[in-house]
Amino acid sequence: MRVSVDTAFQVSVVWACIDVIAKALSSATWQVFERLKNGDRELLPDDPISYVLNMRANPEMTAIAFREATMIAALSWGNGYAEIIRDRA
């Protein structure tokens, strides 16, 4: 039997598991790090992307809703993408 994302979402247990994981991961603060040449990483708390990830992703959704939608996509399809649309501000 072939199983796709569409057929898997027809099973309520699959949706419930994805929903629980996505809500748990999206409720935490997402931190931004820079990878250093020696392999270590450095926390960048004042990076502009940190504001986008944790305060306001876009005018239509809160940061938590954005993170949850991204996690649902990642858990369902294997990747969660967000398009950056820049304005002059």
Ordered by start, the domain boundaries in the chain are: 5-77
Which pair of tokens denotes residue 85?
A: 């649309």
User: Over 90: is that where the pLDDT of 88 sits?
Assistant: no
SS3 28: coil
pLDDT tens-digit series, residues 28-83: 888 999 999 999 999 998 898 888 888 888 888 899 999 999 999 999 989 989 88
For the residues 7-20, what does the mean pLDDT come to?
Answer: 91
Which pair of tokens denotes residue 22?
A: 């996505």
User: Over 70: is that where the pLDDT of 8 sits?
Assistant: yes
Predicted model pTM: 0.77
Alpha helices in the chain (DSSP H): 5-8, 12-26, 48-54, 63-77
Residue 89: pLDDT band by 50, 70, 90 thresholds? low
